[in-house]
A = this chain, B = another copy of it.
């Protein structure tokens, strides 16, 4: 059994980790911390867990965390990096769902997050937790940086095209749409049902913190710097990421069998599913599931390839992917505890 601790269990990523981990056959949840809710029963805050979990929130305590085999950080950025060095020193594996260890270049991180990084020396050691790109490194990781929800969808959608060198890397576009749970469980007028229901908007058009993370990943895939226009949007739904990706095909790309390229690229992946030509993915097909479904089209047989990608932002975009990485890190079957189909309808 893997003894697990969770830091920051009161947000949506936290409760999703709990939903999945209480049913994971090789995990024992040892503690869940929350400064604000310390002492309160977890099931009292999240009644969906009544009868499934007996724990109460506790104050964060690095010693208690260090007694775990693995600690998940489901916190805002700027929290994990305060505790990670001590946990690693104690031999505890860290799975950070925040942004603290996603960017390799500390100057870029500090520019986008507006903070001084407290342990830049660990950035090299941190493994970026996208199994479809980094599976072998993840197996040996001590410190795992889970990708953001948008970056997972965008990278999985562009990866086969970039690895094959089939598209212009200077004019990539990612038009991405998120459900409101992506904004977290924070008391903000902007995310009230009365504000966002029955409406649609773009936000952060001039610059979103996921941009440097995505460009870093895409550049590695392309083996050259890529330039991405990334526009996130908010849709009136709870869960789900839908990304519509646009790229200009070069001569090799126009000649290639793109459907076959994608099917082969993901043939052995348990959690990436290329739809048959002519079908398009819907976010509801992966609601609650650790699955990324995608499709590609070249409209009018012109020069632009369109890839549409869906995932559940809280599962393949966060908690599910984190557990997928944990399974790899602890030599478990990669799908253990995260193979449930989506909740449809």
Which residues of A are in contact with B by a Cβ distance under 8 Å?
A: 12, 15, 18-19, 22-23, 46-53, 171, 173, 175, 177, 179-181, 183, 185-189, 191-203, 205-207, 211, 227, 229-231, 233, 235-240, 242, 244, 246, 248, 270, 273, 275, 278-289, 291, 293, 295, 297, 299-300, 302, 304, 306, 308, 310, 339-345
Inter-subunit contact B194/A180 (CB<8 Å)? yes
- What chain B residues lie within 8 Å of A310 (beta carbons)? 200-201
A244 to B183, CA, bound (A): 21
The smallest C-beta distance from A189 to any residue of chain B, in angstroms, reads 5
The smallest C-beta distance from A49 to any residue of chain B, in angstroms, reads 5
- What chain B residues lie within 8 Å of A50 (beta carbons)? 273, 285, 293
Inter-subunit contact A199/B282 (CB<8 Å)? yes
Inter-subunit contact B192/A47 (CB<8 Å)? no
Inter-subunit contact A283/B199 (CB<8 Å)? yes
The smallest C-beta distance from A330 to any residue of chain B, in angstroms, reads 22
- What chain B residues lie within 8 Å of A180 (beta carbons)? 192-194, 197
Inter-subunit contact A345/B181 (CB<8 Å)? yes
A299 to B202, CA, bound (A): 13
- How many copies of the polypeptide does the oligomer hold? 4
- What chain B residues lie within 8 Å of A48 (beta carbons)? 284-287, 289, 341-344
Inter-subunit contact A205/B282 (CB<8 Å)? no
Inter-subunit contact A345/B12 (CB<8 Å)? yes
Inter-subunit contact B345/A195 (CB<8 Å)? yes
Instruction: Name the residue on B nearest A309 (C-beta).
Output: B202
A319 to B5, CA, bound (A): 34
Knowing A185-B189, A193-B180, A246-B246, the reply to whether A229 touches B299 (Cβ < 8 A) is yes
A280 to B200, CA, bound (A): 11
A311 to B283, CA, bound (A): 24
A186 to B193, CA, bound (A): 11
- What chain B residues lie within 8 Å of A293 (beta carbons)? 47, 50
Inter-subunit contact B171/A248 (CB<8 Å)? yes
Inter-subunit contact A236/B239 (CB<8 Å)? no
Inter-subunit contact A199/B340 (CB<8 Å)? no
Knowing A48-B343, A239-B198, A285-B48, the reply to whether A304 touches B193 (Cβ < 8 A) is no
Knowing A171-B171, A198-B284, the reply to whether A246 touches B273 (Cβ < 8 A) is no
Inter-subunit contact A242/B284 (CB<8 Å)? no
Q: List 19 A-B contacts (CB under 8 A).
A: A46-B285, A175-B175, A177-B177, A179-B194, A185-B189, A185-B192, A187-B189, A187-B192, A192-B193, A199-B240, A199-B282, A201-B281, A201-B310, A205-B297, A229-B306, A235-B236, A246-B246, A288-B343, A340-B340
- What chain B residues lie within 8 Å of A281 (beta carbons)? 47, 201
Knowing A236-B237, A242-B201, the reply to whether A207 touches B343 (Cβ < 8 A) is no
- What chain B residues lie within 8 Å of A22 (beta carbons)? 341
